[in-house]
Chains A and B, each alone.
Chain A
Amino acid sequence: MNIVIVGHVDHGKSTVIGRLLADTGSLPEGKLESVKEYCKKNSRPFEYAFLLDALKDEQAQGITIDTARCFFKTESRDYIIIDAPGHIEFLKNMVTGASRAEAALLVIDAKEGIAENSKRHGHIVAMLGIKQVVVLVNKMDLVDFDENVYNNIRTEFTRFLNKININPVEFIPMSAFDGDNVAEKSSRAKWYDGPTVLEQLDVFENKKENSELPLRMPVQDIYKFTGEGDDRRIVAGTILSGTIRTGDKVIFLPSKKKSTIKSIEGFNVKHRDTAYADEATGVTLSTQIYIQPGELMVKADEKQPSLSSCFKVNIFWVGKAPFVKNKNYKLKIGNMKIGVKLLEISSIIDAAELQIDTFKDQVERHDVAECILETVKPLAFDSISDIDMTGRFVIVDNYEISGGGIIQHSVDNENTLINYIEDREFQWEKGTITSAQRNTAYGHKSKFIVITSGNEGNESRIQDVAKELEEKLFKMNYNAYYLGVGSILQSIASDIVLDYRGRDEQIRHIGELARIMTDSGQIFITTVFNLDDYEAEKLKLLNQPHDILVINIGESPFDSFKPDACIPIEGSVDRVCDILKNQDIILEYYL
């Protein structure tokens, strides 16, 4: 079991751990000696804390700067104790340590009392989802094991923890330095009849596996390794909750593509028909649908997650630069990466004091805030109160994970793209030539033609179709122009390593370009492999007030969007020309 120790700097976390290791006989031979040797050499008194602060930097400063993990065992089970730094500067390290834990020991110095980080850490532990919190009232030897000191801390801190939805399991009066109530009951705190720290550890409950909840499996990758004649196409991922059985009908979100589980794959394991929560597994599907890493696999007959691009969240910020509006960030949830913006700050909660500060217009380092975020596309998620694994995300700012958050619920939001386009059109300065005049002069109407396909392998074939179409129209003396950005998009679609915002930005650029080209009277042709519903709608909107023609070749990549035509690859150029004629874009006959 993973246990984290948190608390304000100098309240004695490392000493608690050093003492736990020593008293349970968990130190490897040589470790205690080498630290004692080190202390002797540097003429410093030996402290248990040095066992952990094994790095030179830390010994110099006397504070824990990073989380260290210690392994030890009691008679009932194995533990990993995670020592989280108490200094405010190292909050991101504390978060790192605490997020791995199933229970938290929060250390408070009896003499100094509740300090800023006692509260801040309490708050973040709550956000991280740790429900089992025990408060260690340490350094009781410095207050002569005074029951009143203990009771005051207990009362005040319980009030605070209850405000942030934590019910502390226990308050243990102790002295890590002397060993009171660590492994052995203290003879100096006879008024206390609760457990020692060690007894308390052994009654923490292990995290329940989430096999009872609805299925949530983020698609981590899709593998087609062909070595040794392997022809499996495996959708790989770690099951966050629920179970998968062969024959289950599944949906991938946000694309909404559907299929059925054909098999559950593994290496050096017996053949099985079921996989459970927490397994890193892989499945094959009965149909060859095109899905991308990052999508969320859910079951068709279970409770569906929310699908929204706008939601209310609680976040904590550890980035060096503040979290600001009108800046592009990257949001990572499950295996999905998506562009995100801070839309609104509802309130900044000063975690230490829990006073609401509504005047800030940015979220600063070490702040905890409630805000509204908007992603570039709808995202599949669950409210933190339903399924916490799919309700948590991180925000990346300039290569660094800078914040973490939990999603409360989706928020209705007026479409910001529509507002933008209304604005754009209002400000568009028009020349004196009208579209009708252009049509007469050019002998055709303008059109934005987007050719797409959902068939893997059609990536370059649709580009060939588009080029051929351009050539055919050009030879008929029409103003046709093919924009060859399909290959850029293709590499972005198949390789999310390049740039997470790349595809969305390209779509936006194409839409803006289309608006100009169609306005100038051209027939503007481009290809976008695996265009999805949101992207098609976006292109349509961006090209307004002019018209778009979406042609799908082969298998459709869309869920609900209706393309203007679905045609086979053979004869597709002629078919598109026929459609243009039918729509009176070009003439039936030309002279």
Chain B
Amino acid sequence: MNHLDKLEAQSVHILREAYREFKSICMLWSIGKDSTVLLWLARKAFFGHVPIPLVHVDTHFKIPEMIQYRDDLAFKWKLTMIYGENSKAILEKNTFPDGKIDRISCCKALKSEALKNTLSGEWDRYIMDLTTGKYIPDINRDRYTGVIVGVRADEEGSRSKERYFSPRDKENDWDVGDQPPEFWNQYKTDFAPGTHVRIHPLLDWTELNIWEYIERENIPITSLYFDRGSGKRYRSLGCYPCTTPVESTATNVSEIIEELKSGKFANIAERSGRAQDKDDGGGLETLRRDGYM
């Protein structure tokens, strides 16, 4: 087995554990390359099927191609596609792009809050009708007790401390100091009522592994990652007001891999294009404790 086979086998094992153990489970799909690899791994684990609903938190400031790509793929692969949002903040224009609040508060409102209430079923959820491709209100309001997330340990400090199965309390809080032990492929799958578990099948993958796997499996990803003539491409996807493309002329997966291995990005952190990380010292960490992915 090569290193990608090993990573794949481990992720598949974790996905199957999660699917068996949690009755109400979902997978967060950010449309980015990592969670799309995760979606692909689910198809590996379940032999072409995706028996787990995909949840996307729509901030309404996502790069438009992302939403188009999401809906096209969901329709084609017959996914149970669900999205949630902070409709109040969006309606009242209580956002950073509207000039009312700072970046961190905006992330908190449009992502963390929206996510928390979408997962708990307290706010409305919308599900794709696979006959029409349109979204309709989701009648299921159950709290998701298992949430599969595509974070990687190499992204930044706090993520490197994550468990594969990571419990969160009722307030979505993550107690970094008191995490469950994990060994011999045995994970925390028993949980007290009201708590839920985040599941991280991609924890051991690096950015390079993700691209190598996309190339090997020929996984369709959004073209925003490639230079389409402007000499720029996105390395990490998010909301357009806070995510800037990087200077790069990579037009396909193998050029990106080359760039990561030996080129200009070999030593530059992946999230360097994400403005909210820089706004305070432990920016992402503060957000993460609050439920941000």
A and B are interacting partners: yes
Is residue A308 contacting chain B, with contact meaning CB distance below 8 A? no
Can you name the residue of chain B whose Cβ is closest to the Cβ of A404?
A: B183
A516 surroundings in chain B (CB, below 8 A): none
Say whether A280 contacts B8, CB under 8 Å.
Answer: yes
Residues of A within 8 A of B91 (CB): none
Q: Nearest residue in B to A496 (C-beta to C-beta)?
A: B20
- Is A408 interfacial (CB-CB < 8 Å)? no
0/1 interface trace, chain A 326-364, chain B, CB 8 Å (1 if under): 000010100000000000000000000000000000000
CA distance A389 to B268 in the complex (A): 39
A445 nearest CB across to chain B (Å): 45
CB distance from A336 to the nearest CB of B (A): 11
A66 at the interface (CB under 8 A from B): yes
Chain A positions 38-55 with a Cβ under 8 Å from a chain B Cβ: 38, 41, 54-55
A399 in contact with B190 given A54-B156, A55-B157, A266-B47 (CB within 8 Å): yes
B177 touches A29 (CB 8 A): no
Determine which of B10, B20, B179 lies in contact with A66 in the assembled complex, contact meaning CB atoms within 8 Å.
Answer: B179
Instruction: Say whether A400 faces chain B, with CB atoms less than 8 Å apart.
Output: yes
List residues of A (71-100) whose CB comes within 8 Å of B's CBs: 71, 78, 80, 92-93, 95-96, 98-100
Chain B residues 158 to 192 lying within 8 A of chain A, measured CB to CB, are 158, 160-161, 163, 176-177, 179-186, 188, 190-192
Kindly list chain A residues whose C-beta atoms are within 8 Å of the C-beta of B160: 54, 68-70
Interface pair B158/A332, CB less than 8 Å apart: no
Q: Tell yes or no: A431 within 8 A of B by CB.
A: no
* Residue in B43, B154, B157 with the greatest tally of chain A CB atoms within 10 Å: B157
Evaluate contact between B269 and A29: CB separation under 8 angstroms.
Answer: yes
Residues of B within 8 A of A267 (CB): 43-44, 46-48
A420 at the interface (CB under 8 A from B): no
Stretch touching chain A among B11-19, B66-74, B111-119? B11-19
Tell me the nearest residue of chain A to B19, going by C-beta. Answer: A221
Q: Is the interface of B mostly helix, strand, loop or mixed?
A: loop
Report yes or no: B267 in contact with A29, Cβ–Cβ below 8 A: yes
| Contact A92 to B176, CB < 8 A, known contacts A66-B161, A236-B16, A394-B186 | no
B92 contacts the other chain (CB 8 A): no
Neighbour of A78 across the interface among B3, B23, B78, CB < 8 A:
B3
| Contact, CB under 8 Å: A99 / B47 | no
Name the residue in B46, B188, B191 with the highest tally of chain A Cβ atoms < 10 Å from its Cβ: B46
Interface centre among B153, B180, B272 (most CB of A within 10 A): B180
- A290 touches B (CB below 8 Å): no
Given A28-B268, A399-B190, A401-B188, decide whether A280 and B45 contact each other with a Cβ distance below 8 A. yes
The reply to whether B20 and A92 contact each other, CB–CB distance below 8 Å, is no
Q: Which residues of A contact B47 (CB under 8 A)?
A: 223, 225, 230, 232, 234, 265-267, 282
Task: Looking at the assembled complex, report how far the CB atom of A124 sits from the nearest CB atom of chain B, in whole angstroms.
Answer: 10
A31 within 8 A of B: yes
Instruction: Verify B49–A66 contact, CB threshold 8 A.
Output: no
Q: Mark B2-36, 1 if CB is under 8 A from A, else 0.
A: 01011011101100110111110000000000000
Q: Which of B90-118 contact A (CB under 8 A)?
A: none
Which A residues are in CB contact (< 8 Å) with B177?
57, 65-66
CB A495 to nearest CB in B, in angstroms, measures 8
Q: Per-residue 0/1 for B30-61: is the Cβ within 8 Å of any A Cβ (1 yes, 0 no)? A: 00000000000001111111010000000000
Query: A99 near B182 (CB under 8 angstroms)?
Result: yes
Q: Cβ of B191: which chain A residues have Cβ within 8 Å of it?
A: 399
By a CB distance below 8 angstroms, the chain A residues around B267 are: 25, 27-29
Beta-carbon contact of B8 and A99 below 8 Å: no
Q: Which residue on B lies nearest to A276, using beta carbons?
A: B1
> Is the CB–CB distance between B281 and A96 below 8 Å?
no
Across the interface, A497 reaches (CB within 8 A) one of B23, B45, B154, B217, namely B23
Q: How far is the CA of A238 from the CA of B45 in the complex (A)?
A: 11
Contact B48 A230 (CB under 8 A): yes
Q: In whole angstroms, how far apart are the Cα atoms of A425 and B44 in the complex? A: 55
Query: A142 → chain B, closest Cβ, in Å?
Result: 29
Question: Which residue of the partner chain, among B9, B12, B176, B181, contacts A96 with CB atoms under 8 Å?
Answer: B181
> Does A268 lie within 8 Å of B217, measured CB to CB?
yes
The answer to whether A404 touches B184 (Cβ under 8 A) is yes
- Flag whether A209 is at the interface (Cβ < 8 A): yes
Cβ-defined contact, A71 with B154, below 8 A: yes
A318/B186 in contact, CB under 8 A: no
Q: Is A243 an interface residue (CB 8 A)?
A: no
**A55-B1 contact given A30-B268, A220-B20, A267-B47, CB 8 Å threshold:** no
Q: Is B223 an interface residue (CB 8 A)?
A: no
Residues of B within 8 A of A515 (CB): none
| Chain A residues, Cβ within 8 Å of B158 | 54-55
A41 and B282 alpha carbons, distance in the complex (Å): 13
B46 touches A38 (CB 8 A): no
Known A93-B181, A209-B1; 6 more pairs at CB < 8 Å: A66-B176, A225-B48, A232-B47, A267-B48, A280-B16, A399-B188
Please name the 4 residue pairs, one residue from A and one from B, whose CB atoms are nearest each other, closest first.
Answer: A54-B157, A99-B183, A92-B181, A280-B12
Chain B residues within CB distance 8 Å of chain A = 1, 3, 5-6, 8-10, 12-13, 16-17, 19-23, 43-49, 51, 78, 153-154, 156-158, 160-161, 163, 176-177, 179-186, 188, 190-192, 204, 206, 217, 267-269, 272, 281-282, 285
